[in-house]
Amino acid sequence: MRNILITGAKGQLGQKLSDLAVDFSSLNIIACDLPETDITDKNQIEKIFNNHRIDLIVNCAAYTAVDKAEDDAENAYKVNAFGPGFLAEIASQNKIKLIHISTDYVFDGSANTPYTETDIENPVSVYGKSKLEGEKQVLNNAPESVIIRTSWLYSEYGHNFAKTILRLATQKQSLNVVFDQVGTPTYAGSLANAILTIVNNYFSDNMWQSGIYHYSDLGVCSWYDFAVFLLQENKIATPVFAVRSSEFVTKAQRPAYSVLDKRKIVDVFGVEIPYWTNSCRLMLEKL
């Protein structure tokens, strides 16, 4: 049995990892999160290693309040950059692997073709800048790590766009949703399954290739398209109107284009990626 430490275990991805790990009989999840475990406190992380034999770390912990981060850069960097750096140091010291979750926000969204792992990063928000710094800290301290950038994460857990749209549709007469931001909704269950596949293959076949990878579900849509699909699937008749992002004033700038090229993660690790509408239907069944 291999002990997998999941940090940020109460978040969307962390909870789906725990849910799906039961299908991988050789993996045992050790879940930790605030307030018991703070990844920015190296002593707390070392305490976990003293109490358990950890074989691999999956870091899902993150400061994800994108707008709040604009006025709270210190804490955003603490959680998104320096915390992952601590985890990477400990992983390197213990000669174990680390999988760190990053974001499409490391790009500025000015592209018109899917972003590859070798495209130049240019984050336009504090959140994006702190996550990019986290990637650098991880690779500097533990070069054998795997970093997975993802986008538009949602699930039946926590706070996310999908759940917010479904809630607002029962409270309002109509909804306004932006149509000029394009990307791919990613079900946390799909990403969790990909991560567990990578972990399981590493322990069973010693299959591992460090570096940066992109993962989202397949397909492309706008936030407007996503909202319309959610309501149609739930047979909710609330009208949805497409509006420009300029009509919504936010502190942080969002990438207008967040489509990720997933060929590398498929080629290297052989993960299967579902189409976003199929994943969404699966999530709605569980909601």
pLDDT tens-digit readout, 39-56: 999 889 999 999 999 999
- pLDDT attached to residue 248: 85
- pLDDT attached to residue 35: 86
- pLDDT attached to residue 23: 92
The whole-number average pLDDT for the span 105-110 is 98
Whether 195 is in a domain gets the answer yes
- pLDDT attached to residue 149: 98
Q: How far apart are CA 26 and CA 28, in angstroms?
A: 7
Whether 228 is in a domain gets the answer no
Residue whose pair of structure tokens reads 């400061």 in the numeric block:
63
The whole-number average pLDDT for the span 90-114 is 97
- pLDDT attached to residue 17: 98
**Angle between the 83-93 and 42-51 helix axes, to the nearest 10 degrees?**
40
Tokens of 102: 């990053």
CATH of the domain at 70: 3.40.50.720
Q: How far apart are CA 162 and CA 164, in angstroms?
A: 5
Whether 108 is in a domain gets the answer yes
In 3D space, the residue among 39, 44, 35 whose CA is nearest the CA of residue 6 turns out to be: 39
For 11, the domain range is 2-159+184-217+259-274
The whole-number average pLDDT for the span 75-90 is 97
Tokens of 45: 């992380």
Whether 168 is in a domain gets the answer no
Whether 285 is in a domain gets the answer no
Q: Work out how many domains the chain is built from and give that number.
A: 1
pTM for this predicted structure = 0.97
Whether 64 is in a domain gets the answer yes
What residue spans of the chain are helical by DSSP H? Answer: 12-20, 42-51, 66-69, 73-77, 83-93, 126-141, 161-169, 188-205, 223-233, 263-269, 276-286
Residues with catalytic annotation? 127
Strand partners, 28: 3
- pLDDT attached to residue 88: 97
Helix, strand or coil for residue 238? coil
The whole-number average pLDDT for the span 184-194 is 98
% of the chain surpassing 70 pLDDT: 100
Whether 239 is in a domain gets the answer no
Number of Cβ within 10 Å of residue 30's Cβ equals 18
pLDDT digits (tens, 9 = 90+) for 10-38: 999 999 999 999 999 899 999 999 888 89
Whether 226 is in a domain gets the answer no
Q: How far apart are CA 149 and CA 118, in angstroms?
A: 12
Q: How far apart are CA 196 and CA 207, in angstroms?
A: 13
pLDDT digits (tens, 9 = 90+) for 239-277: 999 999 998 889 999 999 999 999 999 999 999 999 999
